[in-house]
Chains A and B, each alone.
Chain A
Amino acid sequence: MARRPTPPRSVTSSQEVTDEQLDAHVRTRLALLGVDLSVLPADDEEAPADQRRIMASARRFLRSTPEAIADFELDPMGPAPAIYPAEVSARNRG
């Protein structure tokens, strides 16, 4: 059912996307949702959160998680998504 992860086929890997491109992506996505980071201080280590740290975290996330998940190839006839896996297994015993 599951195939082993394979190298990405994309011409540009997430590692090659620049910080500026990622920042534009994040800010556009958040703007479309109506989420405003500008209420945070720009750069203040003493603040609970600031724009610099939030954007750095977002860039790390985008450079790792989506691609890692996309690289895990699954057979279309493999498992349908189930958001409660343990319940599925218990309900399908026998």
Chain B
Amino acid sequence: MGEVNRRRFLERMTALTATAVAAPATLGAISNAGSRFPGATGAGSRAVAGRPDELNLPPAGRPQPADLTELTLAEAARLLRDGDVGAVELVEAYLARIGRWDLRYQAFNTVVSQAALEAARTADRTRGRAPLTGVPLAIKDNYFTAGVRTTANSFIFEDFVPDFDATSWARLRDAGAILLGKTQMGPLATTAASTPTGERTTVNAWAPHHDNVSPGGSSSGSATAVAARMAASSTGTQTGGSITNPSNAQGLTGIKPTMGRVSLQGILPLTYTRDHPGPLARDAVDAALMLQIMAGPDPADPRSLGLPPVPDYLGAVREDDGALTHPERGGAVRIGVLPGFLDEPEPPEDPGPDPDPDVDRIGSSFPRRERTQAAYRRDVATVEARRRMLATLEEMGAELVELDFPTHWETLTSFNFNNVRLPERSEIFLEHLRDDVRKFGVSLAPWINGLLLPAAEYVRGSRARLVLLREILDEVFGRCDLVTQTAPFPFDMVGLPLIGFPIGFETGSTGYPRPIGGMFGAEPYAEHHLLAVIAAYQRATDWHLRRPADPGELRPAEGDGGGPRGGADGSAGRDRSPGRYDLFDVMERGE
């Protein structure tokens, strides 16, 4: 597949131009809801979910855990449906964990305790048939939530309260889900979570006492909330890795769907062409359940219209589906392995002593030498985990296909071509840039750079994305069904789906277990293939079942940086001394 017929391609340009023109009207929904953001109404945002009550939840797979917050989303939904657990009971369990630990994790911007409990009481009273009836979720703070502050963690939207729900959240709500709260994120969906002025906030649930271990971004709070068992699942957005990176950083399964598969209506935009909403979940089955409900056409978002029908994701992750056989072509699923995926990292050169230890520690937990060695140990462990993962999949029947990079991969996935997105974000926020650049806090520079890329280069960069896509379709997916990825940007640039999932752990960098993630990409709208293979992989492994210890059970190591530790049980944390992310985890930050 993948050959773009030139005549039909040109015919489609008319429709796509219409789409591009329509997009600002989508954004326009913001300002009538009281923001200073310019625009129109949110009338088109009503949920257009199909018939979620008909979804077939997966069968039970293990005994019910004593702690309800240990339940996966699918398990919780089934127990609630069968009356074995009450929604109030479940919401109270999550609120108790949030109350006890979120001062340390800082995963939430807003927690709506009373509204969540009231919704839970209603769910218990009415015993609705919708598949997520009574299930508590955490929603990233760039999704509109009617009546609940939606800030995108930015000065620009700090007082913004939308009067309608984002379509994808409305679908989840209509499926019975309960909003627990809004999750902390990188300012305006850039970088890992920090205050708009750059002070770190959310920590990685696996290293809550190590401020320099990135939680992944920008959906940092969404990942920490799920990993720390403060929500059953969560939503994120990805423009440059913001679902898959935090999923990898915190042992979760997150899927970034193909452009248009999930409506962007009612989500504060970072770019029009690369933002993708999707779930962060505990495993592939939960991700499939979330995506099944979030996905589908939305008249308010032209990008979601005219696409192939939404597949049966829940069917794809069922155990009896022979997941490592390609469902349409037959035969073994072919997994493409790109060059470098299994290359041993080179031992690092000695970076020398810290020039001024006092200065260096402002932005870093570790001295430079220790940091370099920790990164190397993590790279070594990552390659070993990738080898094990591929060997497991091969034993399960997958065929591994060694690939070369597509012809212009190196050039077209470079930093410079990735920058083609920048004028889009600058255009979206142009009025705010003209009003006061200080509103952009620590992340101002790319917004200014976006104003400096001439239109000719923007158009050429947009054309080049078509070259990249065609080469990926022909030279990669002409030979395989799924392909390994080491960075999210290439597939983010062309709108192809990605899944992030846990493939191992290492302890070298913090002294505590820390997840290692893998990432696969697929053809347009082949999310069901990604989910099927990863669900099968997770039936053969247990990485996705591991949970981080509570902060009180982890003793911070002597001299590990990151500021005061709060009380003896590790629960307090607002008094962590501020600091900024350094380059240690730069590839895990995303946007």
Contacts and interface: CB of A to CB of B under 8 A. Distances in A.
Interface of A: 1-2, 4-5, 26, 29-30, 33-37, 39-40, 48-49, 53-54, 57-58, 61-62, 64-66, 68-70, 72, 74, 78-93
B457 A70 contact: yes
A89 B440 CA distance: 36
Contacts of A68: 411, 414, 416-417
6 contacts: A35-B448, A48-B196, A65-B449, A84-B260, A85-B466, A86-B259
Contacts of B259: 84-87
Nearest to A49: B444
A62 B452 contact: yes
A1 B467 contact: yes
A35 B433 contact: yes
A81 B258 CA distance: 19
Contacts of A54: 444-445, 448
Nearest to B20: A83
Interface residues of B, number: 72
Interface of A, secondary structure class, is: helix
B464 interface: yes
Nearest to A41: B438
Given A61-B419, A64-B416, A91 B306 contact: yes
B227 to A, nearest CB: 28
Contact of A48 (B1, B197, B303, B524): B197
A54 to B, nearest CB: 6
B260 A86 contact: yes
Contact of A90 (B412, B438, B524): B524
A35 B4 contact: no
Contact of B272 (A62, A83, A87): A83
B207 interface: no
Given A30-B451, A81-B462, A92-B12, A69 B198 contact: no
B437 A39 contact: yes
Contacts of B460: 69-70, 72, 74
Nearest to A37: B437
Contacts of A90: 258, 307-308, 524-525
Contacts of B16: 82-84, 87-88
Contacts of B307: 87, 90-91
Contacts of B420: 69
Given A49-B440, A79-B9, A90-B307, A85 B434 contact: no
A48 B463 contact: no
B13 A85 contact: no
Contacts of B419: 61, 65
B520 to A, nearest CB: 16
B441 A48 contact: yes
Given A68-B417, A72-B411, A92 B5 contact: yes
A72 B308 CA distance: 33
Contact of A78 (B260, B438, B463): B463
Contact of A39 (B272, B438, B448): B438
A86 B494 contact: yes
Interface in B284-307: 303, 306-307
B155 to A, nearest CB: 10
Contacts of A40: 437-438
A80 B9 contact: yes
A62 B450 CA distance: 10
Given A40-B437, A40-B438, A86-B496, A2 B408 contact: yes
A26 to B, nearest CB: 7
